[in-house]
Amino acid sequence: MPETNSRTRLEKALNHREPDRIPLGFDAHCCGIHIKTYRKLRESLGLNPEKARVSDRIQQLGHLDQDFKEKINNDVEGVYSNPPSGWEFERKDRDKYWEFTDEFGITWRMPKDGGLYYDMWDHPLQDADSVKDIEKLEFFDPQDPARFKDIAEQFARAAKLEKAPVFNPNTGGIFEMALWLRGFEEFYQDMILNPGMAETLLDKALEYKKKFWEKALEAAGEEILVVAEADDIASQDSLLISPDMYRKFVKPRHKELFSHIKCQAKTKAYIWYHSCGAVKRLLPDLIEEGVDIINPVQLSAADMNAEELKKEFGRDLVFWGGGIDTQKALPNFSPEEVKEATKRNIENLASGGGFVFAPVHNVQADVPAENFLAMLEGFNEMN
Amino acid sequence: MDYIINIVEDLQAGNAEGVKTNVEQALESGMSADEVLQQGMMKAMAVVGEKFKKDEIFVPEVLVAARAMKRGMKVLKPVLVDDKVESQGTVLLGTVKGDLHDIGKNLVGMMLEGGGFEVIDMGVDVEAAEFVAKLKEEQADVLAMSALLTTTMPEMKNVIDVLKEEGLRDKVKVIIGGAPVTCDYADQIEADAYAKDAASAVDKVKEAVTSLK
């Protein structure tokens, strides 16, 4: 047996066996920290807060530096692709907002006064009228080498640090891509009124993704471990679309994408899948599609009781997240309450392996540093 | 009565043309606009809301139903105005300052229109002062605020505080909603009601308007 390091620890958890301690999964997609809170945390931990910089522009997340990750004993190293050549971030001044247009032609805005993230403002296919209009949309080359120029290095660094690499996605999943490109209300209606347009757009997104991951996985080589895809399919109380609609439009394409990823990976790749909200009804479908890890276990959403989920799906799925609720507990509880809630959640989710600790979502700007530290204390006490 | 049955069915199926045609024919047959509204449109949207609440239908089905309703309302509205039929009440709707999310808010607006209310949608990222100015101008019965983020929720309290400062708090009912919003939070900031989803919003607004009368 090799000595336990972060990678073997995570591998053990992914294989549903109990590692020496629960792996800590920050730096995977949606397991980040808002830049404002990240600065406060660095200060609390005796690290230079000036060093903090933004990595995920849209969600305004801090780039988690090595000193910080060492300090909290994080087990994961996030791997990130780069923008394609020919596209550059350009921040425009638009009255009350900062604005930029991403590589897909989607416009995002952040209020100058008190804005904490960029949110979608405009969609390139908003006025599309036909399948032809959808077909006309062109993407930057998903296989552009510029995207993957330092991927091998990032994996090599993770290996050197004996950390577990998670290859994060460069955009939303295929369903999200369709909604973002076409506009939410338009795409939802297309699925009923213009199913041909909806299918064409989903196919386009799928093609982009398959090509992207082909090259990404080639660059990752034998070091690949976890591949992350994020595709929200649920809301706080329910699913965004009916199970039938999911099975007709999205499921076959999810399945195709995940099989493609597993097939293209040089060694075993675990599919990490993120959807916020009340996803329980579709977990059997996700398992069937080849999803290995579900993130986040949104404890505050309908029918997302950690204990029941573990009992029902714990054999087939690894839970990544669900360590502490981020809507109420982490920002608003007292540190003592945060610690207790953290321990309770771990008790519900961690037995027998199959659990990686992270909060339900990114640690937001309204979280006091003491609460984050109390969460870590609870986590450490359970190990 | 066939027209009414058709309107209810077509609206639920999202058949906008069908709704439009049947509204026209119902009016031609001598039915009053108010009758078509109450027995056709409002009844159908109530069914849609009920099914949405019960998880029998989802956002896409509600959106196409609302689209069909709007098509019918285009025909119906001028006749309702001519007949001097009063709406159920006026609702000022918006997502609070700093928050650019609008799908939930839009669904609330559609369901309210389907419930016979006059809806003034102020869009997203609406400042307290803008809400206040519009309230004064339109004398709305209800202010419905939405927030999707835990970080923008506190702005709802700010708006309520500003309403108090302006002496408007007793003149308008305040209803709030959005993913992180809870009933407790509504109590805490002294909103009049919390609506869990777009269909419940219609019930809450109805209650609020009744209590004003």
What CATH number is attached to the domain comprising A357?
Answer: 3.20.20.210
Q: Compute the nearest-CA separation of A364 from chain B (Å).
A: 8
Interface of A with B (CB under 8 A): 96, 109, 111, 113-116, 119-121, 184-185, 188-189, 191-193, 235-242, 245, 326-328, 331, 364-366
Q: Compute the nearest-CA separation of B67 from chain A (Å).
A: 9
Is A103 domain-assigned?
no
Cα nearest neighbour of A367 on chain B = B151
Predicted ipTM beyond 0.90 = yes
Domains of chain B: which residue ranges?
Answer: 2-82, 90-212
Rounded mean pLDDT of B24-37? Answer: 96
Contact B150 A364 (CB under 8 A): yes
* pLDDT 10s digits, A262-294: 999 999 999 999 999 999 999 999 999 999 999
Query: Which residues in B lie closer than 8 A to residue A96 (C-beta atoms)?
Result: 125
pTM of the model: 0.94
Tell me, what's the pLDDT at A363? 97
Tell me, what's the pLDDT at B212? 84
Average predicted confidence (pLDDT) for chain B? 95
Structural domain count of chain A: 1
Tell me, what's the pLDDT at A3? 73
Q: For residue B213, what pLDDT band results from cuts at 50, 70 and 90?
A: confident
Is the model's pLDDT at A377 over the cut of 60? Answer: yes
Length of chain B: 213
Is A146 domain-assigned?
yes
Is A339 domain-assigned?
yes
Is the model's pLDDT at A2 over the cut of 80? Answer: no
Q: What is the fold of B2-82?
A: 1.10.1240
- Domain that includes residue A310, residue range: 6-84+125-381
Tell me, what's the pLDDT at A51? 87
Interface of B with A (CB under 8 A): 14, 55, 57-61, 63-64, 67, 97-101, 103, 106, 125, 149-151, 179-180, 196-197
Is A351 domain-assigned?
yes
* pLDDT 10s digits, A94-139: 999 999 999 999 999 999 988 899 999 999 999 999 999 999 999 9
* pLDDT 10s digits, A225-270: 999 999 999 999 999 999 999 999 999 999 999 999 999 999 999 9
CATH class of the structural domain B90-212: alpha beta
* pLDDT 10s digits, B122-172: 999 999 999 999 999 999 999 999 999 988 999 999 999 999 999 999 999
